[in-house]
Amino acid sequence: MPGIKKDDIRVSINGNLVSISAEVNKNEEKEGKGNKLLVKETFHGSISRSFSLAHEVDRKGVEAKLKDGVLLLTLPKLDADAGHQILIQ
């Protein structure tokens, strides 16, 4: 996610569904001398990506890090009950 600030990125988890979204704002201005080069570029938009995992995610252990434009997510698997015995009445 190069060029996107960490404050503009949103990660949400619902069961086994992981959604990542971001707002992109880019303003670039260039000025030149001599033959007068003037460029102004503005871009605004949003991006999103969702995917589902085979197992639900343990929200307590989730970590997200942004370094050099790379978003690293640690999504530990939720431990399901090994077995649940039901009493017969």
For the CA atoms of 26, 4, 67, 1, what is the dihedral angle to 10 degrees? -110
Q: Taking the complete model, does pTM exceed 0.75, yes or no? A: no
Q: According to the model, what pLDDT value does residue 20 have?
A: 95
Could you report the per-residue pLDDT of 20-77, keeping only the tens digit for each? 999 988 777 777 777 777 777 787 889 999 999 998 988 888 999 999 989 999 999 8
* Mean pLDDT along residues 82-89: 64
Query: How sure is the predictor about 82, in pLDDT bands with cuts at 50, 70 and 90?
Result: very low
* Domains in the chain, CATH or no CATH each: 6-74 (2.60.40.790)
The tokens for 81 are: 């009950």
